[in-house]
């Protein structure tokens, strides 16, 4: 019997995702023809489905887009090679990349131009990493501590990271690499974004108060998966109430809820209402960190 639902703050949409969705909305409003989007605008299947219903055409290859059409580039960032390909097709390019991802692009380009090897810590084939490494002349991608231990550095190098990684795992890897290679350069300021950091810290506090944690987010969302990991073994990743299983609530009195950075409020509300309607649970908020950041369009 679920007596209480605890909604943790911060949760849900981050400033970068809000900006990307506003940019796509404006593109739809201001352009009469079909809008193309290279890759999913954000990694949330419900958000993408809604935009498909509004006529947005999602593609992975620039060659799939008719010459002269409008293309919105996703929040994850895009490599210079892809942008040049879009320019050759005379596409009207609207870039919805998160400003914090742009920061890592600039770091990769700047250090690469200075002759540094870019050591990039991130998930293989994630679009953010693909875009960042498109800026680098010489790079190596690592995804785990085991891979970090196999690294051999024979030239000056800089360590950059994906913005949506696990804080705990990243710290282990960074600590190892900087101890093993004291000359390894670190850029000013951390690459893991403040929203990722805040949500992971918040869900850890939530997990201590709850018998069960539900993370609203899609399976292809890096930051949502990291929230599930941060919450521990008693956590489940769901897109919405349709994914909830009855057995999860057996002997559970307090359910904590958070949401990934690509999840609009309405999808969280649907989960809360489903549990409230079933158990008559009371709802309270747990604010761990205040977020006031907003990115300009």
- The pairing of strands 282-287 and 35-38 is unpaired
Q: Give catalytic status of residue 85 as yes or no.
A: no
Catalytic residue among 128, 146, 273, 287: 128
Give me the active site residues, please: 128
């Amino acid at each position: 019997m679920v007596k209480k639902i605890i909604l943790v703050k911060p949760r849900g949409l981050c400033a970068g995702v809000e900006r990307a969705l506003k940019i796509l909305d404006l593109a739809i409003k201001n352009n009469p023809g079909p809008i193309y989007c290279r890759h999913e605008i954000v990694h949330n299947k419900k958000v993408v489905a809604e935009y498909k219903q509004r006529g947005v055409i999602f593609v992975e290859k620039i060659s799939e887009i008719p010459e002269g059409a409008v293309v919105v580039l996703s929040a994850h960032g895009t490599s210079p090679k892809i942008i040049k390909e879009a320019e050759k097709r005379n596409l009207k390019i609207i870039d919805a990349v998160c400003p914090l991802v742009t920061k890592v692009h600039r770091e990769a380009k700047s250090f690469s131009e200075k002759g540094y090897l870019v050591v990039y810590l991130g998930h293989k084939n994630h679009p953010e990493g693909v875009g960042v490494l498109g800026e680098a002349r010489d790079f190596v991608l690592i995804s785990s501590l085991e891979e970090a231990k196999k690294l051999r550095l024979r030239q000056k190098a800089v360590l950059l990271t994906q913005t949506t990684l696990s804080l705990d795992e990243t710290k282990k890897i960074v600590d190892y690499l900087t101890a093993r290679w004291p000359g390894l350069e670190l850029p000013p300021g951390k690459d893991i974004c403040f929203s990722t950091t805040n949500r992971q810290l918040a869900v850890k506090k939530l997990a201590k108060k709850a018998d069960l944690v539900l993370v609203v987010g899609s399976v292809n969302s890096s930051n949502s998966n990291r929230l599930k990991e941060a919450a521990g073994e008693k956590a489940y990743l769901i897109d919405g109430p349709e994914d909830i299983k009855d057995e999860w609530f057996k002997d559970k009195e307090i359910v904590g809820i958070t949401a990934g950075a690509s999840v609009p409020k309405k999808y969280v509300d649907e989960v809360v209402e489903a549990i409230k309607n079933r158990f008559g649970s009371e709802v309270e908020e747990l604010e761990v960190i205040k977020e006031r950041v907003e990115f300009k369009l």
